[in-house]
Amino acid sequence: MQHIYGIHAVDALLRRRAASVQRLLVQQGRDDKRIAALLELARNQGVNVQRLPRKTLDELVAGRHQGVVAEALPAAGEEANLWQEADLLRHVDEADTPAFILVLDGVTDPHNLGACLRSADAAGVDAVVVPKDKSADLSPTARKVACGAAEVVPFVRVTNIARTLEALKERGVWLYGAAGEAEQSLYEADLKGPIALVMGAEGDGMRRLTKEVCDHLVKLPMAGSVSSLNVSVATGICLFEARRQRLSTT
């Protein structure tokens, strides 16, 4: 049984996978507008609702639950947005618009993963690619931070990031890796065509093999004394620069 918590994450779950929700647990005494909207949605979906003390909900999950916890059956194999590498490559082959892919090379903090997914959804990314090992997964924490994006953005776990990137290159996708030592600024890069933005792990950045397979390395022009940004912040900046450029071509 999974525990999905937080108002946005539970709302997305009820809208997209209501059949998997066994119970919606709501904090006793919470009756604000957001909770009322969730309760109405749960009733419309035929989901059982139970009121519990805050202490009980605190014991169920480690994060800030905002007064709601959904008990749901795991459906990893059934979720339409969980892709295999073959699904990603098929999408690139068949899509009518230029590919726009985010690759996270070893982002291990679930908060950062959730924030990256949220930005990816807002920027219109086709899919988010992560390695199966040494990477955060779609945990309850990541789902909560993603505010519903974890249920809709195609999420691709691959065995070998470098091999997947090579397969994308063979299909005409240009690979742009973010690296502090790059000579080219993000704002000088042409991000209007089929691209994959590759972001490295917190602190260490991209692994050597990942960096070597990239077509271009780009950096954020930093004006202050801080030498780097949190990976989720940097990802948001990169994604929306690409989004800005791509909108200018439509």
Residues 129 and 183 in one domain: yes
| Residues in contact with 86: Cβ distance below 8 Å, sequence separation at least 6, in sequence order | none
Residue the block writes with tokens 């940004």? 229
220 among annotated binding-site residues: yes
**pLDDT of 78:** 45
Flag whether 239 is in a domain. Answer: yes
- Calculate mean pLDDT across residues 22-51: 92
Flag whether 87 is in a domain. Answer: yes
Residue 77 — pLDDT band, cuts 50, 70, 90? very low
**pLDDT of 92:** 95
Residues 68 and 94 in one domain: no
Instruction: Write out pLDDT tens, residues 159-207.
Output: 999 999 999 999 999 999 999 888 999 999 999 999 999 999 877 788 9
Return the minimum-mean-pLDDT range out of 22-26, 77-81, 145-149: 77-81
Flag whether 77 is in a domain. Answer: no
Residues 98 and 56 in one domain: no
pTM to 2 decimals?
0.76
| Boundary residue ending a domain (40, 72, 104) | 72
Residues 29 and 143 in one domain: no
CB 161 within 8 A of CB 68: no
- List the domain range (segments joined by +) for residue 34: 2-72
CA distance 127 to 196: 10
Residues 225 and 139 in one domain: yes
- Calculate mean pLDDT across residues 16-43: 90
200 among annotated binding-site residues: yes
Sheet holding 2-5, edge to edge: 2-5, 68-72, 21-27, 49-52
pLDDT tops 60 at residue 76? no
Task: Report the number of distinct structural domains present in the chain.
Answer: 2
Residue type, 165: L
Instruction: Write out pLDDT tens, residues 201-245.
Output: 877 788 999 999 999 999 988 776 666 788 999 999 999 999 999
CA of 69: how far to CAs of 115, 133, 157, in Å?
20, 28, 26
**pLDDT of 222:** 76
Flag whether 106 is in a domain. Answer: yes
**pLDDT of 81:** 85
The CATH number linked to 42 is 3.30.1330.30
Residues 92 and 66 in one domain: no
Residues 116 and 58 in one domain: no
Residues 34 and 87 in one domain: no
- Calculate mean pLDDT across residues 77-89: 80
CA of 162: how far to CAs of 197, 213, 224, in Å?
13, 7, 33
The CATH number linked to 157 is 3.40.1280.10
Residues 107 and 17 in one domain: no
| Boundary residue ending a domain (44, 72, 100) | 72
Residues 151 and 97 in one domain: yes
CA distance 27 to 197: 41
Q: Are strands 2-5 and 68-72 parallel, antiparallel or unpaired?
A: antiparallel
CA distance 126 to 123: 9
Instruction: Write out pLDDT tens, residues 102-159.
Output: 999 989 999 999 999 999 999 999 999 999 988 999 888 898 899 888 888 999 999 9
